[in-house]
Chains A and B, each alone.
Chain A
Amino acid sequence: MVEGKFGVCNGITRVNDVKSGSSTLRKSPSGDRFKIYIPYAGQTITWEVILDNSCPEEPPDFIFEDSDFCPNVADIKSLVNWDIGDPHCLTKVIRELLEHYKTFHERLLEAHSRLQFEYSSLLDQTELSRDLIEVYSERTEKKIGPINFLIKLPVDFSDIPPYLTKDNPGENSAVLLILFPSPDSSRVTPQLYLSPRVEHAFGGSGNLRIPAFPSGGCLLDYVPDVYKLLQNKVEKTVQIYERRKELIAAFLSHFGRSVLEFDADGFFDISFLFEWNDFFFILYIELAPSFPQEAPVLTFQSIYHESKEKPYSEVHDKYPYSPRWSGPEMATRIKTYILDNIQAFQKQSVISGSL
């Protein structure tokens, strides 16, 4: 029966996935009381669930970390209607409690006009709905703060390139965590969290910079700015990804039977072994993140001659090129360039290299 509860609790990961992460469980030796760690608004809240092994039909008791949070049991329908036979009984209770917890924190803001304004203006004047925002206020005896606003940005990630890994990279999301050290502070710090597939598409977490929160600014202006920035970045990333893919595909259709390797994930490079008049050589073609603005870099490499203990090679990055050409056109023109330059490369490799 306790295992059954565990199963139910693991279901909570879905409830909390709305924002981020999953909950974990620990249980004390008696087996009928355990703690749940729930991510909420950038924090992890700990609730202790107490059941009774001897009478499981009795609904659980809860101990909340936050002693001010004390919802009225009668308001919690799934607790009132506790049905041990329902495998989701605990999930439902937790979900409802979380709702109450969220409301509890929303109410806490009412005492502080600036924060209240920030919150309500986001709800009223942007497209953000209540289920995309979580707020949390840390409270001590003397003061309140820091206060977290966790906002899930409704960016359209549907065209993001696939990210093939064994572990499910999960849903695509971008979440903005904004910290107010105190209700009236101007040193507001934002942090952006991207889900793995989105981060991979952008080329790593370092590749997107969000602006600092302007002093005297407000979320109503700032959040939409970050949203637009992200949406633009997504569009741009998808566009240049498609251009790279198109070019690599064009090269493969010309030279597929000579291919050595190519980047099948981001389409950033492809390499071939070519033969010209009995002279074999390797060609590496590499695309920068700024492609198509920047031309692909071509590197010719000898398989017979070396220079300084490495195979002799020549880098060609300045050749007739236009970013406006289509992938197939680029491939054809680069092919012409290669044919025009092999002989010189061959001569040079013999002269400069050693056999």
Chain B
Amino acid sequence: MFRRKGIKRRADGMPISTHQRSVVQPPCLLSPLAADIRVMSPAVFLLDGNVVSKPRTMEAENESGSDQENYSRLVSSVIHEYDIIDVEPGARSEESANEDVKSRDSSQDDVTLPRVNCPEKIIICLDMSSEMDKVSFRSRSGDKWTPMKLVRRALSFFLHSKQRLNRNHQFALVHLFDKASWVKDFTGNVRSIISALDDMSDTVELQSFNATSLFDLIHQCVPLPELEGDTTILPPPYIVRMLFIYGRSNGLIEFRNKESFRQLDSSPYFFFDAMYVHEPQSPENRCEEIFDRLCDLDEKGMSYIFEAARNPTRLYDQMAKLLAHPLQRPLQSEIAYRLHNIADLTDT
């Protein structure tokens, strides 16, 4: 069998579709190769009328041309744009943004929230495991970086951009060691967070992560706004969003006592987003399992869960996607960033 340009093959000869960015999937059809494609994460289908969102999976390696690369057995491209099924054209048009817009996810119990850009309190939860200081990201030109260096830089962009979007957003910093600990309380002063990131203590060799301690800490320290008045119209004074940045390829996320998490998650004004940086997936590590565990934390279906390995550009891209305001952004399964030329569109 000869290799077609751009198509990678597994050891047994079956093709793996690589990160196809310009494929437009027909509605509700899986590709004919579906049976051969191993979907690694549990299927999480969010049903809202005809819209079926696909499960999150991690992206396959996308190094063109190199035989020696250790390719993942995963199918990627599920998260990307145009995999979206059955969205009515203009479904996202806003006739009147002030009227209550049904929360985009009907799997969350009937809480409809106003689509307003209220201030956010964003808690950056930064993994302090020593793996964050191990070089694993490379550019084509041969430059190398540790995840921590890239994450700090991407966070700096994130903070500046978020502040530009709204001066009233606030940010806090939590370090994840064996237990979670607050480093910086909520502030709108972006420079102080950036310098806290610059002056960090050293990372430490850590194994599994105790998620209970993190959610306990947050539940204890961060009050959530009460539901007042007509919650479908009235904006809350702020919403709380966790930005969980995890960097362990082998340390599992242990979550014995979910009480605090349940309390937090039961509020419609609480959101959990995650950015997972890791080694390329392989039989020697547990990235896939960890990623699945992360996705499990998205019980309401409102989270953005991203991952990146090896490719620095992708890390910056994913962090930028996390800028989107939880009350105004589309579901992760519906995001689409590509700009088309006008000529490519059949309707305008």
CB within 8 Å of B: which residues of A? Answer: 162, 164-166, 245, 248-249, 252-253, 256-265, 267, 271, 273-276, 278, 280, 282, 284, 301, 303-304, 306, 310-311, 332, 335-336, 338-339, 342
Contacts and interface: CB of A to CB of B under 8 A. Distances in A.
Contacts of A336: 342
Contacts of A335: 339, 342
B348 A259 contact: no
A173 to B, nearest CB: 22
Contacts of B234: 164-166
A164 B327 CA distance: 16
A162 B100 CA distance: 13
B63 to A, nearest CB: 14
**What interface size band does chain B fall in?**
35 or more
Given A252-B93, A304-B313, A342 B157 contact: no
A304 B160 CA distance: 13
B118 to A, nearest CB: 9
B164 interface: yes
Contact of A257 (B92, B94, B98, B317): B92
A260 B325 contact: yes
B116 A256 contact: no
A311 B160 contact: yes
Given A166-B234, A259-B330, 8 more contacts: A166-B228, A252-B93, A256-B92, A257-B334, A258-B336, A260-B325, A264-B235, A273-B320
Given A276-B339, A304-B316, A260 B92 contact: no
A317 B45 CA distance: 44
A277 to B, nearest CB: 9
Contact of A303 (B316, B325, B334): B316
B216 interface: no
Given A252-B92, A273-B320, A339 B339 contact: yes
A249 B117 contact: no
Contacts, number: 127
Contact of B348 (A306, A311, A332): A332
A274 B115 CA distance: 21
A257 B339 contact: no
Nearest to B194: A309
A304 B339 CA distance: 18
Nearest to B317: A280
B228 A261 contact: no
B94 to A, nearest CB: 4
B97 A264 contact: yes
A169 to B, nearest CB: 12
Nearest to B99: A162
Nearest to A252: B94
Contacts of A166: 228-229, 234, 237
Contacts of A260: 165, 323-325, 328-329
Nearest to B190: A310
Contacts of B93: 249, 252-253, 256
B97 A248 contact: yes
B111 interface: no
A301 B339 contact: no
A311 B317 CA distance: 14
Given A275-B339, A282-B161, A303-B317, A265 B228 contact: no
